Amino acid sequence: MDEFTDGWLETTLRSALESEPAPSAAALDFALGLARMLPTANRPSLIARLVSGGQPLATARGGVAQQRLYETDSHLITLWDEADSGASRYLIGQVYAKNNGPLVPESVTLFSVQSAEISARQEDSEFHVAGVAPGVYALRCALESADILLPGVEVGT
Protein backbone atom coordinates (compact mmCIF):
# COMPACT_ATOMS: atom_id res chain seq x y z
CA MET A 1 0.00 0.00 0.00
CA ASP A 2 1.12 3.53 -0.58
CA GLU A 3 1.29 6.28 2.03
CA PHE A 4 -2.05 7.79 0.95
CA THR A 5 -3.89 4.46 1.20
CA ASP A 6 -2.31 3.62 4.57
CA GLY A 7 -3.30 7.00 6.00
CA TRP A 8 -6.84 6.82 4.61
CA LEU A 9 -7.34 3.26 5.88
CA GLU A 10 -6.05 4.13 9.36
CA THR A 11 -8.24 7.25 9.57
CA THR A 12 -11.32 5.40 8.33
CA LEU A 13 -10.86 2.48 10.73
CA ARG A 14 -10.08 4.72 13.69
CA SER A 15 -13.22 6.85 13.14
CA ALA A 16 -15.37 3.75 12.62
CA LEU A 17 -14.10 2.15 15.85
CA GLU A 18 -14.43 5.34 17.88
CA SER A 19 -18.08 5.74 16.81
CA GLU A 20 -18.99 2.24 17.98
CA PRO A 21 -20.20 1.77 21.57
CA ALA A 22 -17.88 -0.12 23.92
CA PRO A 23 -18.66 -3.85 24.09
CA SER A 24 -20.55 -5.10 27.12
CA ALA A 25 -18.86 -7.14 29.83
CA ALA A 26 -20.83 -10.20 28.67
CA ALA A 27 -19.59 -9.74 25.08
CA LEU A 28 -16.00 -9.41 26.29
CA ASP A 29 -16.35 -12.57 28.43
CA PHE A 30 -17.79 -14.46 25.46
CA ALA A 31 -14.91 -13.32 23.20
CA LEU A 32 -12.40 -14.36 25.88
CA GLY A 33 -14.00 -17.80 26.06
CA LEU A 34 -13.74 -18.22 22.30
CA ALA A 35 -10.12 -17.09 22.32
CA ARG A 36 -9.28 -19.76 24.90
CA MET A 37 -10.47 -22.41 22.44
CA LEU A 38 -8.04 -21.42 19.70
CA PRO A 39 -4.92 -23.52 19.24
CA THR A 40 -1.80 -22.07 20.83
CA ALA A 41 0.73 -23.62 18.48
CA ASN A 42 0.99 -24.86 14.93
CA ARG A 43 -1.04 -27.96 15.59
CA PRO A 44 -4.52 -28.77 14.37
CA SER A 45 -7.51 -28.13 16.58
CA LEU A 46 -9.71 -31.22 16.79
CA ILE A 47 -13.24 -31.10 18.14
CA ALA A 48 -14.26 -34.26 19.94
CA ARG A 49 -17.79 -35.59 19.89
CA LEU A 50 -19.55 -37.36 22.70
CA VAL A 51 -20.00 -41.01 21.78
CA SER A 52 -21.21 -42.33 25.15
CA GLY A 53 -23.53 -40.21 27.26
CA GLY A 54 -22.56 -42.03 30.41
CA GLN A 55 -24.81 -43.91 32.75
CA PRO A 56 -25.05 -43.03 36.45
CA LEU A 57 -22.66 -45.24 38.38
CA ALA A 58 -22.27 -45.82 42.11
CA THR A 59 -18.85 -44.79 43.42
CA ALA A 60 -16.66 -45.97 46.26
CA ARG A 61 -17.36 -42.66 48.00
CA GLY A 62 -21.07 -43.47 48.03
CA GLY A 63 -22.10 -40.85 45.48
CA VAL A 64 -23.26 -41.03 41.91
CA ALA A 65 -20.77 -40.64 39.08
CA GLN A 66 -20.90 -40.37 35.30
CA GLN A 67 -18.37 -41.71 32.85
CA ARG A 68 -18.42 -40.25 29.35
CA LEU A 69 -16.43 -41.13 26.25
CA TYR A 70 -15.47 -38.54 23.62
CA GLU A 71 -13.88 -39.27 20.24
CA THR A 72 -11.99 -37.60 17.40
CA ASP A 73 -10.80 -39.46 14.32
CA SER A 74 -7.57 -40.44 16.07
CA HIS A 75 -8.19 -40.00 19.83
CA LEU A 76 -10.46 -41.18 22.63
CA ILE A 77 -11.00 -39.17 25.81
CA THR A 78 -12.59 -40.67 28.90
CA LEU A 79 -14.01 -38.35 31.55
CA TRP A 80 -15.13 -39.52 34.98
CA ASP A 81 -17.35 -37.03 36.89
CA GLU A 82 -18.08 -37.76 40.56
CA ALA A 83 -19.14 -35.89 43.69
CA ASP A 84 -16.42 -33.95 45.51
CA SER A 85 -17.02 -32.09 48.76
CA GLY A 86 -20.32 -30.23 49.06
CA ALA A 87 -21.94 -29.50 45.71
CA SER A 88 -18.69 -29.47 43.73
CA ARG A 89 -17.50 -32.21 41.39
CA TYR A 90 -14.21 -34.06 40.82
CA LEU A 91 -13.16 -34.92 37.27
CA ILE A 92 -10.67 -37.57 36.19
CA GLY A 93 -9.79 -38.05 32.55
CA GLN A 94 -7.43 -39.73 30.13
CA VAL A 95 -6.55 -39.16 26.48
CA TYR A 96 -5.77 -42.15 24.27
CA ALA A 97 -4.34 -42.40 20.78
CA LYS A 98 -6.61 -44.93 19.08
CA ASN A 99 -3.63 -46.88 17.80
CA ASN A 100 -1.11 -46.34 20.58
CA GLY A 101 -2.58 -46.23 24.11
CA PRO A 102 -2.66 -43.43 26.70
CA LEU A 103 -1.10 -40.01 26.06
CA VAL A 104 0.10 -37.41 28.55
CA PRO A 105 -1.29 -33.99 27.56
CA GLU A 106 0.92 -30.90 27.75
CA SER A 107 -1.98 -29.21 29.54
CA VAL A 108 -5.69 -29.69 30.20
CA THR A 109 -7.92 -26.70 30.85
CA LEU A 110 -11.58 -26.48 31.81
CA PHE A 111 -13.36 -23.20 31.14
CA SER A 112 -16.70 -21.49 30.68
CA VAL A 113 -17.88 -17.96 30.17
CA GLN A 114 -19.30 -17.90 33.72
CA SER A 115 -16.21 -19.05 35.62
CA ALA A 116 -12.46 -18.69 35.78
CA GLU A 117 -10.26 -21.07 33.84
CA ILE A 118 -9.30 -24.20 35.77
CA SER A 119 -6.09 -26.09 35.00
CA ALA A 120 -5.97 -29.83 35.55
CA ARG A 121 -3.28 -31.58 37.57
CA GLN A 122 -1.45 -34.42 35.82
CA GLU A 123 -0.90 -37.80 37.50
CA ASP A 124 0.89 -40.08 35.07
CA SER A 125 -1.49 -40.34 32.11
CA GLU A 126 -4.54 -39.13 34.07
CA PHE A 127 -5.61 -35.54 34.51
CA HIS A 128 -7.54 -34.43 37.63
CA VAL A 129 -9.72 -31.38 38.26
CA ALA A 130 -11.14 -30.84 41.75
CA GLY A 131 -13.74 -28.40 43.05
CA VAL A 132 -15.70 -27.93 39.82
CA ALA A 133 -19.11 -26.30 40.14
CA PRO A 134 -21.89 -28.11 38.27
CA GLY A 135 -22.53 -26.62 34.84
CA VAL A 136 -21.55 -26.78 31.20
CA TYR A 137 -17.88 -26.30 30.28
CA ALA A 138 -15.43 -26.67 27.43
CA LEU A 139 -12.41 -28.86 28.06
CA ARG A 140 -9.21 -28.34 26.10
CA CYS A 141 -6.44 -30.96 25.95
CA ALA A 142 -3.21 -29.63 24.47
CA LEU A 143 -1.21 -32.51 23.01
CA GLU A 144 2.14 -32.39 21.26
CA SER A 145 0.49 -33.06 17.90
CA ALA A 146 -3.00 -31.52 18.31
CA ASP A 147 -5.34 -29.50 20.49
CA ILE A 148 -8.53 -31.35 21.35
CA LEU A 149 -11.60 -29.37 22.34
CA LEU A 150 -14.57 -30.97 24.06
CA PRO A 151 -17.39 -28.41 23.88
CA GLY A 152 -20.51 -28.77 25.98
CA VAL A 153 -19.04 -30.95 28.75
CA GLU A 154 -21.82 -31.32 31.32
CA VAL A 155 -20.48 -31.52 34.86
CA GLY A 156 -22.70 -32.73 37.69
CA THR A 157 -25.76 -33.34 35.54
The burial of 150, by beta-carbon neighbours within 10 Å (0-12 exposed, 13-18 middle, 19 or more buried), is given as buried
pLDDT band (50, 70, 90) for residue 22:
low
In the prediction, which pLDDT does 38 show? 59
Please name the residues in contact with 152: beta carbons below 8 A apart, sequence gap of 6 or more. 50, 136, 138
In the prediction, which pLDDT does 95 show? 96
In the prediction, which pLDDT does 1 show? 46
Whether 30 has a pLDDT exceeding 50, the answer reads yes
In the prediction, which pLDDT does 137 show? 92
Whether 98 has a pLDDT exceeding 60, the answer reads yes
pLDDT band (50, 70, 90) for residue 28:
low
% helix, strand, coil for the chain, step of 5: 20, 45, 35
* Nearest alpha-carbon partner for 108 in 131, 125, 89: 125
In the prediction, which pLDDT does 99 show? 85
The answer to whether the pTM exceeds 0.75 is no
**DSSP-derived secondary structure letter, 143:** -
pLDDT digits (tens, 9 = 90+) for 36-78: 665 566 677 888 888 877 665 555 555 678 889 999 999 999 9
Strands 89-97 and 126-132: antiparallel
User: Rounded to whole angstroms, how far apart are CA atoms 89 and 154?
Assistant: 11
In the prediction, which pLDDT does 46 show? 85
Q: What is the DSSP string of 78-113?
A: EEEEEE-STT-EEEEEEEEETTTEEE--SEEEEE-S
Mean pLDDT throughout 117-131? 94
Sign of the dihedral defined by the CA atoms of residues 121, 126, 132, 135, in that order: positive
* The CA-based dihedral angle spanning residues 30, 34, 35, 38, taken in that order and rounded to the nearest 10 degrees: 180
In the prediction, which pLDDT does 2 show? 47
